[in-house]
């Protein structure tokens, strides 16, 4: 079984389309929307191709009109783009986001996976790439492999009999390189990968949105420099 695991697409269709990996199943770890210019198109792609999807904090916020609880540096950008995103999504798209589960278990190749966005216990909590933090979270589950997103920073942590994997962000990476990040599970092995995409095409779409030009420029800088 070959699985493509994605997280934090954030309405960035160019980044999503740049990932050309073959797969048997596509798993999406939340945050399909917000920050990026094409949330509807991303939702349509995920609904068509993904086998498993869990809710992210931005999916929940857009679907319910609530606060996504972003880090302080991103609150202004998130608020402005949430207003835009809510204005263009259909009720059917928002209903789809509302119905997404917080977590899902899957078993393949003799391994039990738990998929969630931030942590198994909290949709909004930022989990550092530290064994001490994740040992507690993983111990509260019966998963062999915990797949998480939310921080936009890729990592793999081995915790004895368990492993925690964050594929990083497809649409708004924060690891210093403007690339679409993802993970591949293939016959018992998991690897972190990334690929380049047309960042300026996404930037051009952001700058053309009916939002505060200053917010659009901030978002453009985040994409160009891949920083948090």
> Which residues in the chain come in under a pLDDT of 50?
none
pLDDT attached to residue 200? 98
CATH number, domain containing residue 121: 3.60.21.10
Give DSSP secondary structure letters for 37-89. S-HHHHHHHHHHH-SEE---HHHHHHHHT------GGGHHHHHHHHHHHHHHS
- Write the Ramachandran bin of 110: left for phi over 0, alpha for psi from -120 to 50, otherwise beta: left
pTM over 0.75: yes
Closest CA relative to residue 149, chosen from 69, 67, 57: 57
What's the domain count of the chain?
Answer: 1
pLDDT attached to residue 72? 93
pLDDT attached to residue 228? 77
pLDDT attached to residue 79? 97
Distance CA 158, CA 145 (A): 9
Range of the domain at 125: 2-225
pLDDT attached to residue 185? 98
pLDDT attached to residue 117? 98
Digit-coded pLDDT (tens) for 167-201: 999 999 999 999 999 999 998 999 999 999 999 99
pLDDT attached to residue 3? 98
């Amino acid at each position: 079984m070959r699985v493509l695991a994605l997280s934090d697409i954030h309405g960035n269709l160019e980044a999503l389309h740049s990932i050309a990996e073959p797969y048997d199943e596509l798993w999406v770890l939340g945050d399909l929307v917000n920050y990026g210019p094409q949330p509807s198109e991303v939702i349509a792609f995920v609904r068509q191709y993904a086998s498993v999807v869990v809710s992210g904090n931005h999916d929940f916020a857009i679907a319910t009109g609530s606060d996504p609880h972003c880090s302080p540096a991103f609150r202004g950008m998130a608020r402005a783009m949430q207003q835009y995103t809510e204005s263009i999504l259909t009720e059917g798209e928002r209903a789809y986001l509302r119905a997404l589960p917080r977590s899902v278990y899957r078993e393949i190749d003799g391994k039990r996976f738990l998929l969630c966005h931030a942590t198994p216990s909290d949709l909004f909590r930022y989990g550092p790439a530290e064994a001490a933090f994740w040992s507690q979270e993983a111990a509260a589950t019966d998963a062999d492999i915990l797949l998480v997103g939310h921080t936009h920073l890729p990592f793999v942590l081995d915790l004895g009999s368990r492993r925690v994997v964050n594929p990083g962000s497809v649409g708004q990476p924060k690891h210093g390189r403007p690339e679409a990040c993802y993970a591949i599970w293939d016959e018992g092995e998991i690897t972190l990968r990334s690929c380049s995409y047309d960042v300026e095409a996404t930037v051009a779409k952001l700058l053309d949105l009916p939002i505060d030009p200053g917010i659009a420029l901030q978002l453009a800088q985040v994409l160009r420099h891949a920083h948090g």
